[in-house]
Amino acid sequence: MDLHNVTSTVEFLLLGLSDDPQVQPVLFGLFLSMYLVTITGNLLIILAVCSSSHLHTPMYFFLSILSTADIGFTSTTVPKMVWNIHTQSRTISHAGCLVQLSFSNLFGCMDSAILTVMAYDRFVAICHPLHYPVIMNPPLCGWLLLASAFFSLLDSQAHFLMMSQLTFCTHVEIPHFFCDLPQLLRLSCGDTSIDNLLMYFFSVIFGGAPVSGILYSYSRIVFSVLRVSSTDGRSKAFSTCGSHLSVVCLFYGTGIGVYLSSIVSHSSRKGAVTAVVYSLVVPMLNPFIYSLRNKDIKRAFQKLLNRTTQS
């Protein structure tokens, strides 16, 4: 059989997190409930921002975009995993794998880009408070959103093209719950040395640049806050960054954890379990992190609830 004779009819088997039949119902209920909480929480954030005029600011505008990206990110992978558990069918077509890989990278990169933009927004608000309305004007916010979407689409299409060029033998078993490019590169029958170099190159460009931007913004924020003589002023300045910094640490901390675990441990199943954290747990926690200590969001939720009960 020709190993390079690959067509779009090639199917992949997503092995998921466990083969134990007794664990499957538990995983089904757990991930379905977490997914519903994620969708509900992020939709409430979007509705609150859209319905409350006092939230029509750059910070909350980008927060609503982050919630949209979180919904897209989880919806790309989790429903397929839940459906596979329910039907006991783990197959995914070659075209379906391409689409899943493309959209997961699109929304994942969008998350990273928006977190970087939000860090810049906090930098301007704290370091240049008097010029904040002038700097963070609506046209600039629009351009920042377009730039984030453009680079996310560029990263997504790069992964799509790399995946479309890979060659596979027959039915391929992926020890993961979604199509992940590093796993696919390991399972490919052809020479993937160039693809691996390209993958690391894009990881440095589309991963390193946002991290550098966030680190630069927060370094400037720290230097600016340390100059404030008042203790109350310092705590107020840091409190405005607390929610965003928590989300950044969760998002990048779990992502780095997945990368390091894949290097240290050769168990692909452990990597799949770790990937659940950044693909589902982090998007689920984001609405709670931004709403629990945010009086503006709480007030918007209360108004939204009052309107719903009155209608």
pLDDT at 8: 43
Helix crossing, 231-264 with 268-276: angle to 10°? Answer: 160
Domains defined for the chain, CATH in brackets: 11-310 (1.20.1070.10)
Quick count: other Cβ atoms within 10 Å of Cβ 22? 7
| Distance (Å, whole) CA 190 – CA 43 | 43
pLDDT at 3: 41
> Which residue type occupies 47?
L
pLDDT at 171: 64
For 92, left (φ over 0), alpha (ψ -120 to 50), or beta?
Answer: beta
Entry pTM: 0.87
pLDDT at 164: 82
| Distance (Å, whole) CA 177 – CA 274 | 11
Question: pLDDT averaged over consecutive 10-residue blocks of the chain (311 residues)?
Answer: 46 78 85 93 90 87 93 91 84 85 91 93 90 92 95 89 79 79 79 80 82 90 80 71 83 71 56 75 86 77 75 64
pLDDT at 311: 64
Helix/strand/coil percentages in the chain, nearest 5: 80, 5, 20
